[in-house]
Amino acid sequence: MSQPLVSLKTRNRLFAWIEQWPYAKLHEEFYDAGFGDYGFIESDEDSWEYALLQNKAFWTTFKSSLDWSSPSVISRLGPIIRSVLTDIPDGVERAEFLELLRLDGFQVQGPSNVRLAMFNLLVSAHPTAWEGNGRFSIPKSRFKEDSGDAAALIDVSNPESMKALERLPTILMYERGTEGRYAEKAYFGELRDIQVSDQSISFRFHHTGNLSQSQVLENSDRLQIHGWEVTRTHWAIKDGDIPQDILRLVQEVEKQYDIVLSYAGEDRAYVSRVAAYLGSNSVDYYYDQNEAATLWGKNLTEHFDKVFTKYGRFCVMFVSKHYAAKVWPTHERRSALCRQLKERREYILPARFDDTAIDGLHDDLAYVDLRGLAPEELGDLILHKLGRRSVGSAR
């Protein structure tokens, strides 16, 4: 049996706090974190009581059924751990739990960031390998070369295992000696939508900042980069995290999202499930509830204008009587309409909870009727619009 990534002591402490939650919260947290495949069932208002009874019976076996050696399972537990940390008041007990997490190899930077410590380094000799906005790839035979101990847990034949590499810090760079205009560039970000074929591994890249090749090479020892690595195309999975002073060298670029979500707070329960589904399918999406740290201290009028005029490929607009009446949704809508008018292309994707008329939204703009449509079904439509398939669908 593989070595557990989380100690028994940490697991017991985690579940001791979780079992203090109201059962409705327990169901919601685990289902939203993607544990439906372990037996947590979805429920609507009519079947909520039944769902709780089913899940309550299931809970007794759930704890022992988790594969604590799976990086994917540990990654999905991140939101659960964050939620637990918000429940524990400052003091000795919270400090002890944080220390247990750190000893188990988690990077803990307050409630907003809990994950297993690894990062990806991908090197290519092709002069335009990392340019553009499409899919990138690397030979399957070069995967995990010069990787750390944690890479032993990653298996190309196991999609869940590979998914654990997504949303880890990632550096893309070119081999030393590569010619061309991009040779000195290095890109920082995260991987998305990893797919394995017979000969290669492909992925999308969420680009968040820029480095230079010289900056990476100057810090090669601290990034665990050995001499031959910079002259060979490969994908390495390194142990630990990128040092903070190196991260400070990254020059941030404007964020780009596949989807930005505009909605009224009264409709958040539905929208949050759409957001969770998009995230589980490697979609880069803007959902304000995930941006608490980013929004703190910002001029919200300016920030939301940028989000809805610059940052998204599509804007899903959740139309309802609440949406029509609220101030911030109105501001978001005006920004989105301004962009659509300027670019004269598909951008706004209306999704209606009801038939409320919305200023500026023409009647001839095709929409999706959400009455009777589950959030995950809308998520599938969004994936189709993006030209992708859900994780569980046939390739």
Q: What is the pLDDT of residues 71-118, one digit of tens each?
A: 667 777 777 887 787 777 766 677 777 777 766 666 555 444 445 678
Where does the pLDDT of residue 374 fall: very low under 50, low under 70, confident under 90, or very high at 90 and above? very high
Under CATH, which architecture does the 117-252 domain have?
Roll (3.10)
* pLDDT score for 292: 77
* pLDDT score for 280: 81
Between helices 268-280 and 375-385, what is the axis angle to 10°?
50
Question: Exposed, middle or buried by CB within 10 Å (0-12, 13-18, 19+), for 92?
Answer: exposed
Nearest residue to 85 (alpha-carbon basis) of 74, 76, 96, 75: 96
pTM, entire model:
0.59
The overall average pLDDT reported for the chain is 83
Where does the pLDDT of residue 282 fall: very low under 50, low under 70, confident under 90, or very high at 90 and above? confident
pLDDT digits (tens, 9 = 90+) for 7-28: 788 888 888 888 777 767 777 7
pLDDT above 80 for 160: no
Contact 277, 375 (CB under 8 A): yes
Where does the pLDDT of residue 296 fall: very low under 50, low under 70, confident under 90, or very high at 90 and above? confident
Q: Count CB-CB contacts under 10 A for residue 238.
A: 22
Q: Which two tokens stand for residue 40?
A: 């947590």
Contact 329, 262 (CB under 8 A): yes
pLDDT above 90 for 168: no
**How many Å apart are CA 146 and CA 154, to the nearest integer?**
14
Strand-pairing partners, residue 115, are 107
**How many Å apart are CA 30 and CA 79, to the nearest integer?**
9
Tell me the CATH class for 257-385. Answer: alpha beta
* pLDDT score for 112: 41
User: What is the residue extent of each domain of the chain?
Assistant: 8-114, 117-252, 257-385
pLDDT digits (tens, 9 = 90+) for 240-259: 888 889 999 999 888 788 99
Which residue's structure tokens are 């780009």? Answer: 256
CA 60 to chain centre: 29
Q: How far is CA 25 from CA 12, 20, 60, in A?
A: 19, 10, 17
pLDDT above 80 for 4: no
* pLDDT score for 376: 93
Question: Exposed, middle or buried by CB within 10 Å (0-12, 13-18, 19+), for 353?
Answer: buried
Parallel/antiparallel/unpaired status of strands 114-116 and 170-174 = unpaired
Q: Which long-range contacts (CB under 8 A, 24 or more apart) does 300-309 make?
A: 300/328, 301/331, 304/328, 304/331, 304/332, 304/335, 305/331, 305/335, 306/254, 307/260, 307/332, 307/335, 308/260, 308/262, 308/332, 308/335, 308/336, 308/339, 309/335, 309/336, 309/338, 309/339
End-to-end CA distance of the chain: 31
